[in-house]
A and B are shown apart, each in its own frame.
Chain A
Amino acid sequence: MSDDTPGPDDQTPPEQTASTSGSSHDRPTDVLDSDELSQAEVEAARERERREVSVELGATIGQRFVAAVTGVGLIVTLLAIFSALVIGALIIALSDDATREALSYFTARPSDTFASAWEVVSGAYASMFRGAFAGLGPISETLVAATPLILTGLAVAVPLRTGLFNIGGEGQMVAGGTVAGFIGFWIVGLPTLIHLPLALLAGALAGALYGWIPGVLKARTGAHEVISTIMLNNIALLVLAWILTTEFFRRPDRADPISKSMQDSAMLPEFLTGYRVNLGLVLALAIAAAIFWMMERSTVGFELNAVGLNPNAAATAGMSPGRSIITAMSTGGMLAGAAGATVILGVQGRITDGFSAGLGFEGITVALLGRGRVGGTVAAGLLFGSMRSGGRLMQAQTGIALDLVLVLQGLIIVFIAAPALVRAIYRIRTEGFASGHVSKGWGS
């Protein structure tokens, strides 16, 4: 095993990706020490550089914005969303009774089919848009839905940058929300200024601890984080189900699994009466800003990024991949825990069975859409939040099930996960676009 190392040039220039074979890298580099040759080498490097999209750690917000707009990333993202909406439209039309009926005599009167489909699809998308953006109420709902998504998205994004795939957002969120909720109803008589931060902090810490477990398992034993986090999700959900049946948690006057209500002093204050958007949003954005500093500006982030891209080189340079893995997973857990806390303390006011409602899993799609970058993840969280809130109005107005949102999200991510697919569909001529491989097999 000791010498089972790939050739020294395996990961170097782009043409090497074409071949996993040997150390003889097939590039003619001559030895003439002339300026001409030096220039040729520089040109070759420039050519290869053009094929890659990369943003430096130190890039400013402006540079990042320019890179995002001019790079292939934004185009692929927009096309992915567009494609998903198109396929979503097909699904809506096909699941509509009237359209299906019209389809049965399609050859006789095709216009009926199209008219009927157009009606149902445009109705659905229009009410979805209204439910997300039309007026203070919808915008408030969008922001309420986006708050936990931003956090669970970051909970996936930070580990993703460290080369880890955190599928445990759901469990970490459950852990965080439950503990925050516990502090929220159990402690009585504290002022908001102490009680609320205490509950939030407790939730974040519980989430961090629940993310720390798979981190330590990965660092110490090589247990693949995807497996251990999936298992921990199930454990958290089962334990929550059990906890809510205990005397201590269960609301005395109810038989179903619902916890006691939060004290008012533990609730996140709302900005405007009548609108649910609350301090949790500000908190989420502030945390996102802190995470941006951590990932793009700090020494910790440098280490996490380095470990994510090449753990061997990071270790060789004196970094500690094990510690980075634990840091990344704990940070991810903390973010998901905070998401749970904002849901319990901001919206629900009590712990219910399944309060996490798949938000932890949705964080995966949010982070993937945001490509693991902080800004992108926040934007993706807002987008998916708007789809959630819009979807509710769509369901109420048109009777099309809210689950359509899940389908749309899934479709968007299919296209994001395989940028080559989007390029193939739309014939975009760009190569070497970073598709962000995270999996390295199950082994350690």
Chain B
Amino acid sequence: MRLELEGITKRFPGVVANDHVDLVIEEGEVHGLLGENGAGKSTLMNILYGLYSADEGEIRIDGTPVTFADPGQAIDAGIGMVHQHFMLVPVFTVAENIVLGVEKVSGFGKLDRARASQEVRELAERSGLHVDPDAKVEDLPVGIQQRVEILKALYRDAALLILDEPTAVLTPQESDDLFDAIRAFKAEGRSVVFISHKLREHRAVADRISVLRRGSIVGTAEPDEVSEQDLANLMVGRPVELVVDKPQAHVQDSVLRLDGLTVHDARGNPVVRDVDLEVHRGEILAIAGVEGNGQSPLVEAITGLRSAHDGSVTVGGTSIAHMTRKQVLRSGVGHVPENRGRDGLIAQFSIAENCVLNQWDMEPFAKRHTLQFGAIAEHAQRLVNSYDIRTPSITTPASSLSGGNQQKLVIAREFDQPIDLLVASQPTRGIDVGSIEYIHQQLVAKRDDGTAVVLVSSELDEVLALADRVAVMFRGELVGPFDMPVAKEAMGLMMAGTDPAEAMAKGA
């Protein structure tokens, strides 16, 4: 199908998410949609899929104008979408998920499960996306869940497939498999819209690339016509430095030490297995890996949010085994949680209140159990000024800030206290490039102050740019750490579970 979008505009309170977007997707084309987080890619695709309605503009399929009031109509028109956060019911089987909405029934509305399984099995066979139709989705690894999502679209015979940030949860190798599948769809004559904020991936798979910035299309190009640097400039609107300016590290004494650390999840399964690690003052140790390989429980164990099942965590020579989270933090640990909306901020609290969230009961912010609002306001004003948090006032609720400024608020709170160890998880996720650069500089500055920094990130580029030493987590085990530099390809292989020696040899 040939799809045209013309003049699509979508406004949200306070912002224009899509501003007169024009886009044409040819039949049998893989069209890359590039843009940084917040550029309006997902909004645009949600409009196309009938989840949002556009305020202005027209959608045409093969020249005929169409409107989609809900996803059902988009599906009927031949559009399929693989969402970044899978739209799968975890407690249903693969087959149930795939047929949901287009189920075949025998008498009395009875579900024909056998037929569904059979059809899914055949479809999986045909498309080379192998999956057990009777497995429960929640038992499947993410990569397979994504296959189910794709099969869901294929089962509905989608002529146009939208893939929204499909590689975010995949290892580089799994991503390559996905690219093969995308090329196969193209060969069948299907069109594909491939959304990503990673330049490399577009160059690998797209026939044409459109760049979205601040809700508008700022350019369309063929991959071999432009350089990555050009694309990057187009995406952020000015020349960006892909490298962080970082002086030589001055490594001092050890601050954090893990010995045989093993952490179990709620069901008693090990999610961190036998990890040994030592981190020193004045260095950034980065932990890479595809998400869900145990990074979160590892960070929680280090910062006292979760207790270790086995092994020990020592901070500054003291074991934290019998400390509460509060005691761990007060012994000189700063923690930037990976999900600021969920863990870092209280959205309804004011900026001032959020600034003292981790020291609300300490002098000078509280005296004899009574909050000292004067001291709190003073502190908040200082942080707002020195960390460039853009806000009308310190009484503004944190929820009113933009993502980047919210993150700066968290950074300000965690950095502006005397700490020996800083654990930062995904500190730049989902924020604008300007804030990313700022946060990177702050991390390096904190390191140069003599703090031991543990950086957990699933963005390989960020890890390689900031790390003094680097380790990889895979299925709960820590591989490394290795001194920098380490080749990107080797990192990718290790993230997929390849033995380090082999990975280094191949990657080099």
A and B touch in the complex (CB under 8 A): yes
- Using a CB–CB distance below 8 Å, which chain A residues touch chain B? 1-3, 5-15, 18-19, 21-33, 38, 41-42, 44-49, 51-52, 54, 56-58, 293, 297-300, 302-303, 305-306, 309-310, 312-320, 431, 434
Residues A41 and B402 in contact in the complex (CB < 8 Å), given A22-B83, A318-B329, A318-B330: yes
Inter-chain contacts of B391 with A (CB < 8 A)? 42, 45
Instruction: Give, as a whole number of angstroms, the nearest-CB distance from A399 to chain B.
Output: 48
Our pick among A7, A15, A313, A314 for the contact of B85 (Cβ within 8 Å) is A7
Is B305 in contact with A13, judged by CB distance below 8 angstroms? no
Is A28 in contact with B16, judged by CB distance below 8 angstroms? yes
Is A22 in contact with B85, judged by CB distance below 8 angstroms? yes
Our pick among A21, A41, A310, A317 for the contact of B405 (Cβ within 8 Å) is A41
Residues A24 and B402 in contact in the complex (CB < 8 Å), given A297-B370, A312-B342: no
Instruction: Give, as a whole number of angstroms, the nearest-CB distance from B224 to chain A.
Output: 27
Interface string of B289-312 (1 = CB under 8 A from A): 001101011000000010000000
List the 8 closest pairs (A to B, CB-CB), nearest first: A3-B292, A28-B214, A58-B373, A15-B12, A318-B326, A31-B434, A11-B341, A48-B400
Considering the chains assembled together, what is the distance between the CA atoms of A386 and B166 in angstroms?
Answer: 61
Task: For chain B, residues 123 to 167, give those with C-beta under 8 angstroms from any C-beta of chain A.
Answer: 142, 164-165
Flag whether B399 is at the interface (Cβ < 8 A): yes
- Using a CB–CB distance below 8 Å, which chain B residues touch chain A? 12-17, 37-43, 46, 51-52, 83-85, 142, 164-165, 213-215, 236-238, 240, 265-266, 271, 291-292, 294, 296-297, 305, 324-326, 328-330, 335, 337-350, 352-353, 357-358, 360-361, 366, 369-371, 373, 376, 390-392, 395-397, 399-406, 426, 429-435, 437
Our pick among A5, A7, A33, A314 for the contact of B434 (Cβ within 8 Å) is A33
- List 26 A–B pairs whose Cβ atoms lie within 8 Å, in order of A's numbering: A7-B430, A8-B430, A12-B341, A14-B400, A15-B14, A18-B52, A19-B51, A23-B37, A25-B430, A26-B17, A26-B41, A26-B42, A28-B16, A29-B432, A29-B435, A31-B238, A41-B390, A41-B402, A41-B405, A45-B402, A48-B13, A52-B348, A54-B397, A58-B376, A299-B360, A318-B330
Inter-chain contacts of A3 with B (CB < 8 A)? 142, 291-292, 296
Considering the chains assembled together, what is the distance between the CA atoms of A143 and B137 in angstroms?
Answer: 59
Is B403 in contact with A25, judged by CB distance below 8 angstroms? yes
Our pick among A5, A29, A52 for the contact of B403 (Cβ within 8 Å) is A29
Instruction: Give, as a whole number of angstroms, the nearest-CB distance from A32 to chain B.
Output: 7
Inter-chain contacts of A305 with B (CB < 8 A)? 349
* With A22-B164, A23-B84, A23-B430 already in contact, 13 other A-B pairs whose C-beta atoms are closer than 8 Å: A2-B265, A2-B294, A8-B403, A18-B52, A25-B37, A42-B391, A45-B402, A49-B397, A56-B353, A303-B361, A313-B357, A315-B305, A320-B326
Instruction: Give, as a whole number of angstroms, the nearest-CB distance from B37 to chain A.
Output: 5
With CB as the reference atom, state the residue of chain B lying closest to A40.
B390
Inter-chain contacts of B13 with A (CB < 8 A)? 14-15, 47-48, 51, 431
Considering the chains assembled together, what is the distance between the CA atoms of A212 and B350 in angstroms?
Answer: 31
Residues A24 and B37 in contact in the complex (CB < 8 Å), given A13-B399, A47-B14: yes
With CB as the reference atom, state the residue of chain B lying closest to A3.
B292
Is B165 in contact with A318, judged by CB distance below 8 angstroms? no
Inter-chain contacts of B305 with A (CB < 8 A)? 315-316
Inter-chain contacts of A27 with B (CB < 8 A)? 12, 15, 17, 38, 402-403
Is A46 in contact with B392, judged by CB distance below 8 angstroms? yes
Considering the chains assembled together, what is the distance between the CA atoms of A305 and B358 in angstroms?
Answer: 14
Considering the chains assembled together, what is the distance between the CA atoms of A29 and B406 in angstroms?
Answer: 13
Instruction: Give, as a whole number of angstroms, the nearest-CB distance from B36 to chain A.
Output: 8
Considering the chains assembled together, what is the distance between the CA atoms of A20 and B456 in angstroms?
Answer: 25
**Which secondary structure characterizes the binding site on chain A?**
loop
Considering the chains assembled together, what is the distance between the CA atoms of A6 and B339 in angstroms?
Answer: 8
Considering the chains assembled together, what is the distance between the CA atoms of A306 and B215 in angstroms?
Answer: 35
Considering the chains assembled together, what is the distance between the CA atoms of A58 and B349 in angstroms?
Answer: 11
Most buried by B among A7, A27, A298: A27
Inter-chain contacts of A25 with B (CB < 8 A)? 37-38, 403, 430
Instruction: Give, as a whole number of angstroms, the nearest-CB distance from A306 to chain B.
Output: 6
Residues A313 and B342 in contact in the complex (CB < 8 Å), given A22-B83, A48-B14: yes
Inter-chain contacts of A26 with B (CB < 8 A)? 12, 15, 17, 38, 40-43
Is B236 in contact with A12, judged by CB distance below 8 angstroms? no
Our pick among B214, B343, B371 for the contact of A297 (Cβ within 8 Å) is B371
Our pick among A24, A54, A309 for the contact of B38 (Cβ within 8 Å) is A24
Is B426 in contact with A8, judged by CB distance below 8 angstroms? yes
Our pick among B266, B340, B401 for the contact of A45 (Cβ within 8 Å) is B401
Most buried by B among A13, A32, A46: A13
Inter-chain contacts of A306 with B (CB < 8 A)? 346, 349, 357, 360
Is B338 in contact with A8, judged by CB distance below 8 angstroms? yes
Inter-chain contacts of A45 with B (CB < 8 A)? 390-392, 396, 400-402, 405
Considering the chains assembled together, what is the distance between the CA atoms of A24 and B43 in angstroms?
Answer: 9
With CB as the reference atom, state the residue of chain A lying closest to B272.
A2
Our pick among B15, B37, B51, B238 for the contact of A32 (Cβ within 8 Å) is B238
Is B390 in contact with A38, judged by CB distance below 8 angstroms? yes
Instruction: Give, as a whole number of angstroms, the nearest-CB distance from A209 to chain B.
Output: 23
